[in-house]
Structure 1
Amino acid sequence: MTTTQDTLDDDDEKTFEEQRARIDHPMRRLFGEYGRLHRGPLGLGLGASLFAHTLALLPPFVLGVAIDAVFLDTREFGLPLVPQSWLPASQSGQFWLSAGLVAASFLLSAVFQWGKGWGLSVFAQRVQHDVRSDTYDAMQGLDLGFFADKQTGELMSILNNDVNRLEQFLNGGLNVLTQLLVTVLGVAGLLFYVNPQLALLTLVTVPVIAVFTHRFVQTIQPMYADVRSTVGRMNSRLENNLGGIEVIKASNTESYETDRVTDTSKEYYDTNLEAITTRVKFFPGLQLTAGIGFVVTFVVGGVWVFQGPPGPFTGVLEIGQFVTFVYLGQRLIWPMAQFGQLINLYQRAQASAERIFGLVDEPTSLPERDDAEDLAVTEGRVEYDDVSFGYEEDSAVLDGVDFDLDSGEMLALVGPTGAGKSTVLKLLPRLYDVHEGAIRIDGHDVRDVTLGSLRRSIGYVSQETFLFYGSVKENIAYGTFDATDEEIRRAAEMAEAHEFITEFDDGYDTLVGERGVKLSGGQKQRVGIARVLLQDPDILILDEATSDVDTETELRIQRSIDRLVEDRTVLAIAHRLSTIKGADQILVLEDGRVVERGTHDRLLAEDGIYADLWGVQAGERDVLPSR
């Protein structure tokens, strides 16, 4: 059976597929935008890696030369790029020079290995940090409609798992790449220097491995994209279930949710296992191919030493030269096998980079104009001019909403659930943008001012107050981080929160738990109101701010609101009409339209929808009449 959640997951995945499809050359972009910012540690890491892996090739070459020239005396002692006149003439001097070169190569290699590890690790960590910060910043700038269409777990997967995938490639992958290039080119150069004929035979497996790897890349790339997607869906499922664990327990649906998590986990298992199966087939095959090349070199070289040049080969192969081929040929096997691991890391990093930059490049429907100026609220007048809006293109939530609110006045919105009350308020701080019409503050269209200055001027208390994990004091001071303890206490008193806060053992330092789970609904609301009061905004939005408080607390908060009206413009929604009796204007919304407007007394006199609602809440009527 296909559930609504399954449909949302499918739609979410399609959206991210479209995001990834928009990104060209993600790894080139990664190094272009972030690599150049940290080219110091990158240069150190790559340079040190280059020297470390190059020095690792020196001992087997020097050993081969020493065997033939020092111990067997079958050829002249010589080193590439070193003039013969610089080398000792005696066998004793040649021996100690060989020993010194081997010892120096190991010592310097260790030093360069440290430089490689430090440089690449610092580079990878810095890029990882910058990418995660920039991606989060870009995501924060998107409108609420984007988050309404996305699963939190999917976004978490990008910010966490995908960014970590980049670090794995930038550290381990670049090291493997340097080792591979140095080993293949260095070994090839040394082998051709020692014996070009046998070198051709030894290196014949390289193009075979290249073709083999190309086939692997074509097969594994779409698999890794699927794996990253299933990880996001699995994170979304787990995040949803953990957030709704109370509902799950109360509904006795543990087995149902276990099945859903099992199904999502099985999808990830199947997708990942397919990629793993492809990978585990590739790596042994790659190593076997490289191993066959080594065995052929060993057999041909051994026959050459004992019996002379076999088949088409000519000349003499000394024992020391053969030893060099054996050592270097063995050195070639592991890096060639790691070539598959490099491609594996690269493909995984590329799939992650596509998702990251797809999120970064997601266009926002709330653009800030280049010439936008800061809003300076002087009077606090609010004007809605024939405003229409819909969350979907073909579905209108508001239609022609129109009102003016003067400085210091209070506007109340009333109406049935789904009438559009909360949507009206969310348009003022540009949580969404109007589709038609305009919203102005002191004559300034909210789309013409900077978002930061607009939202600093507006305090917003929603019907579902969100508290961050931390103390009560930290949650009240959120957004006003330089507030003093006295200012925090005064805001809490105005919100009627100080009394219950001081009853806690730790007072204002009491931890509220995840999402404020340790506080009641009413306590969370009052902390949220205190937070906004501390911000001292010019305009105040109350979206059913007293929905979760008892009657006594509601009266206390109402007294605070009454005091605020004197010097603030207030827009409020209240399910209890008693809290907005004194509002200067009351608008009654129905199906996104303003159907009644006026003061409390005037609307009662009109005997319309408002009068019906008031009658039911006041106990004068049992049910709402049909109209």
Structure 2
Amino acid sequence: MATSPDDDDPFEEQRENAENPMRRLFAAYGFQNSMQFSVGVLASVGARLLDLLPPLLLGIAVDAIFLDERAFDLPLVPQAWLPAARDAQLWFTIGVIAFAFFGGAAFHWTRNWGWNSFAQNIQHSVRTDTYDKMQRLNMEFFADKQTGEMMSILSNDVNRLERFLNDGMNSAFRLGVMVVGIAGILFWLNWQLAIVALLPMPLIALFTYFFIKTIQPKYAEVRSSVGRVNSRLENNLGGISVIKTSNTESYESERVEDVSMDYFDANWDAIDTRIKFFPGLRILAGIGFVLTFTVGGLWVLNDAGPWFFTGTLDPGEFVTFILFTQRFIWPMAQFGQIINMYQRAHASSARMFGLMDEPSRIEENPDAEELVVRDGRVEYDDVTFGYDDEETIVEDVSFDVAGGDTLALVGPTGAGKSTVLKLLMRMYDVDEGAIRIDGTDVRDVTIPSLRRAIGYVGQDTFMFYGTVEENIRYGSFDASHDDVVAAAKAAEAHEFIRNLPEGYDTEIGERGVKLSGGQRQRLSIARAVLRDPDILVLDEATSDVDTETEMLIQRSLDRLTENRTTFSIAHRLSTIKDADQIVVLEDGRIAERGTHDELIDDDGLYAHLWGVQAGEIDELPDEFVERASRRASRTGVENDDD
């Protein structure tokens, strides 16, 4: 069963808000490549004009050279330039036809170079600009978008644009020149028979208009269904280990079959419309050929115009009409293909420009200055934040961290711990209150300088496809090999790297699949060490490793946090008990604060969480257990943020 694009297209809103996407495409990118465009247009005109010469010369040769029924003359060529003898006229005609073929070949090559260069340059610019915009959007934008859907825009939609800009526009100008050129020649030869040949044109235009109105929404649904297929495939391939260990291959195959069938239905609906259009278009275009052959044939046979037609029609002119009318049919059918490509490109460009127009909640102050960290003091002043119009995630959070101190954020899952630190890095902006570094609001400094000053080591240690050294150097691209080694040693990673097959040059596979979780975590720490940030954020940096690996990582973290302002989120409270200050969050508010010993003595939420990890579950108060049960039953965006 096919799904509605309104229900399932995550880019529906962006697509509907994109105004005149094709016009914008040419305005934004066409002028940058006007030289290639001009070459393509001029070469298309030259190639098509030369292509029209042989049939025209053939008709003139039949009447003037072989039948001797008219004078040998050529349009736009002075009579003094033409030979008088019939043999010379024949050789002259052969020479001109040969020139037309060779010259046409040169123009065709030039035309293809121009259009291909034009299309490839725009494809490159559009893809890179769309990606640049996409990666700068707020984090909440990605909450309801899947990787496959965004890949569909960057890959499939951009490629469809390239096909239209190359094949479609190339064909449009080529066929435009041919139609105009053929029509001009036919009217020059015999205006009455030319009208007969062109009679189907209004019907073709009307037929094409209805095709455009019908096919446009169908192509939009095709693009949406492609995104859903890509998302399902990307999601399943990323979770292949879970699928295998859960023995759910059949279940996932059925889910892929469902989204593939949605694409099949949407695409077949568009195909069904398309395959009905083109034969109908050929029939309409063929009517012109049949009428031309009928009227012209009777005209030549009777040596006079049939019915209400007047004048004469020479056999050579009739041959030229037949040849050109045949050529006229194919451009009409090809015009439908161009409309088809245009509609596909229109749907794709609407998605791309809709994405480019997506507003960002993170806007840099035009007067922002570079952040210079002096002491590293961080202040949260009555900070409140919520995603769009949804429930508030963080409310009235205030605390100060002195330069060089460590502050730990703890609390139940969904308390807002990760969100608090994302606000510091301006992944989101506060709704109320302010966050300051050394007294300067983070909204008054440039985003790049802010994020350069903050090093982040998270639970999900993403590794890029490449070597160990490339991953450690990521973000510090000018660092030397010695700097990389020193950072690895500080992160307790040097020894295991040395034991890898190629050492620091070992390819670690996509997402670092060839490394253990602890090894990836230590590489992530080495990356942070190499950056040497003024402020450090540790978000569950040791939660998914064994005890022995945790000990190694903790040693490297102790070195990294020394004399550095540090924020640490941890479910394992043993890793943060020596923090200078511990802030306990519950439901986005500060419930407690103090040192480890002070909070234990207070016998509040922190003490109960400590009791859970110490195995003292039976001693916990019923109220704490009930509140934990309520928290665990909640659903919503805030549960994604610790």
Q: TM-score, normalised by structure 1?
A: 0.96
The one-character-per-residue Cα deviations of 1:451-504 (angstroms, maximum 9, x if unpaired) are 101000000111111111111111111111121111111111111111222221
Aligned to 1:433: 429
What does residue 156 of structure 1 align with?
A: 151
Which residue of structure 1 aligns with residue 604 of structure 2?
A: 608
2: CA distance between counterparts of 1:11 and 1:380?
Answer: 47
1:63 aligns with 2:51: no
Residue 373 in structure 1 maps to residue 369 in structure 2 = yes
Q: Which amino acid aligns with 1:480?
A: S
Report the counterpart of residue 466 of structure 1 in structure 2. Answer: 462
Q: Which moved more, 1:85-94 or 1:336-345?
A: 85-94
CA distance in 2, matches of 1:391, 1:526: 32
Name the residue aligned to 2:485. 489
| Alignment match of 1:326 (pick from 307, 322, 327) | 322
CA RMSD of aligned residues (A): 1.7
Counterparts of residues 5-84 of structure 1 (less than 5 Å):
13=9, 15-84=10-79
Paired position in structure 2 for 1:105: 100
Report the Cα offset of residue 571 of structure 1. 0.2
**How far did 1:311 drift?**
1.0
In structure 2, the partner of 1:221 is 216
Query: Aligned partners of 2:521 and 2:621: how far apart in 1?
Result: 33
Residue matched to 1:88:
83
Secondary structure of residue in 1 paired with 2:500:
coil
Structure 1 contact 472–511 (Cα < 8 Å) conserved = yes
1:502 to 479, 482, 498: 498
Deviation of 1:549 (Å): 2.4
Which residue pairs with 1:129 in the alignment?
124
SS in 1 for 2:478: coil
Question: Aligned letter for 2:477?
Answer: F
Contact 1:525/1:548 (CA < 8 Å) preserved in 2? no
- C-alpha distance after superposition, 1:3-32 (max 9, x if no partner): xxx99x97662x522211211211111111
Q: How far apart in 2 are the matches of 1:336 and 1:621?
A: 80
C-alpha distance in structure 2 between counterparts of 1:184 and 1:423, whole Å: 63
Deviation, 1:619, is: 4.5
Distance 2:617 2:233 in 1: 46
| C-alpha separation in 2, matches of 1:301 and 1:599 | 102
Matches within 5 A, 1:159-558: 159-308=154-303, 309-558=305-554
- SS of 1:483's partner is coil
Counterpart Cα distance in 2 of 1:551 and 1:431: 32
Match of 2:581 among 585, 604, 617: 585
* SS of equivalent residue, structure 1 residue 262: helix
Q: Aligned partners of 1:66, 1:624: CA distance in 2, in Å?
A: 107
The 1-side partners of 2:317 and 2:64 are apart by 11
> Does the 8 A contact of 1:587 with 1:598 survive in 2?
yes
Deviation for aligned residue 1:372: 1.2
Question: Any idea what SS the aligned residue of 1:247 has?
Answer: helix
Match of 2:636 in 1: none
Task: For 2:341 and 2:213, locate their aligned partners in 1 and report how far apart those are by CA, in whole Å.
Answer: 14
Amino acid in the other structure paired with 1:558 = Q
Alignment check: 8 A CA contact 1:389 1:436 kept: yes
Alignment partner, residue 576 of structure 1: 572
Cα contact 2:529–2:560 (8 A) shared by 1? no
State the identity %.
63
SS of equivalent to 2:362: coil
Query: Where in structure 1 are there 5+ consecutive unaligned residues?
Result: none
The structural deviation recorded for 1:391 is 2.4
Residue 635 of structure 2 aligns with which residue? none
| Cα deviation 1:251-300 (Å, max 9, x = unaligned) | 22222211111111111101100110111111111112212211221122
Scaled by the length of structure 2, the TM-score of the pair is 0.94
Instruction: Give 1:612 deviation, angstroms.
Output: 2.3
**For residues 377 and 12 of structure 1, do their structure 2 counterparts lie closer, same or farther at Cα, with a shift above 3 Å needed?**
farther
Q: Which amino acid aligns with 2:568?
A: A
| Match of residue 146 from structure 1 | 141
Q: What amino acid does structure 2 have at the position aligned with 1:431?
A: M
Rounded to whole Å, the distance in 2 between the matches of 1:554 and 1:218 is 62
**Displacement of 1:392 after TM fit?**
4.3
Paired with 1:564 and 1:270, the residues of 2 have a C-alpha distance of: 56
- TM-superposed CA distance for 1:592, in Å, is 1.1
Paired letter, 2:587:
D
In 1, Cα distance between equivalents of 2:471 and 2:230: 27
Deviation at 1:557, TM superposition (A): 2.7
Contact 1:616 1:623 in 2 (8 A): no
C-alpha deviation, 1:623, in angstroms: 5.6
d(CA) in 2 for partners of 1:194, 1:136: 55
**Partner Cα distance (1:219, 1:559) in 2:** 66
Question: What do residues 50-80 of structure 1 show as CA deviations (whole Å, max 9, x unaligned)?
Answer: 1101110111111111111111110111111
Structure 1 range deviating more: 92-101 or 366-375: 92-101
1:191-235 alpha-carbon deviations (Å, 9 max, x no partner): 111111111101112222111111111111111111111111111
SS in 2 for 1:56: helix
* DSSP-derived class of the 1:480 partner: coil
Contact persistence 2:581–2:593 (CA under 8 A): yes
Letter in 1 for 2:332: M
Q: By how many angstroms is 1:604 displaced?
A: 1.8
Q: 1:400-454 deviations in whole A, cap 9, x for unaligned?
A: 1110001100001111111111111111101111111111111111111111010
Indicate how the Cα distance of structure 1 residues 350 and 623 shifts in structure 2: closer, same or farther if over 3 A, else same. farther
- The letter of the residue matching 2:466 is G
- Residue aligned with 2:622, SS: coil
User: Taking structure 1 as reference, are residues 286 and 12 closer, same or farther at Cα in structure 2, changes over 3 Å only?
Assistant: closer
Match of 1:119 among 89, 98, 114: 114
Question: How far apart are residue 538 of structure 1 and its match?
Answer: 0.4
Tell whether the 8 Å contact from 2:6 to 2:12 is kept in structure 1 after alignment.
no
The match for 2:628 is none
Contact 2:139–2:427 (Cα < 8 Å) also in 1: yes
2:594 maps to what in 1? 598
Aligned with 1:565 (options 554, 561, 568): 561
Give the secondary-structure state (helix, strand or coil) at the position aligned to 1:588. strand
- Size of the aligned set, in residue pairs, is 622
Residues in 1 aligned to 2:552 and 2:517: alpha-carbon distance in whole angstroms: 16
Superposed displacement of residue 132, structure 1 = 0.1
Q: Equivalent residue of 2:54, what SS?
A: helix
SS in 2 for 1:411: strand
Q: Is the 8 A contact 2:525 2:557 kept in 1?
A: no
Q: What secondary structure does 1:338 align onto?
A: helix
After TM superposition, give the deviation of residue 514 of structure 1 in Å: 1.7
Q: What are the ranges of 5 or more consecutive residues in structure 2 without an aligned counterpart? A: 624-642
Change (3 A) 1:12 1:392: farther
| Cα distance between partner residues in 2 of 1:269 and 1:558 | 53
- Give the SS at the match of 1:404: strand
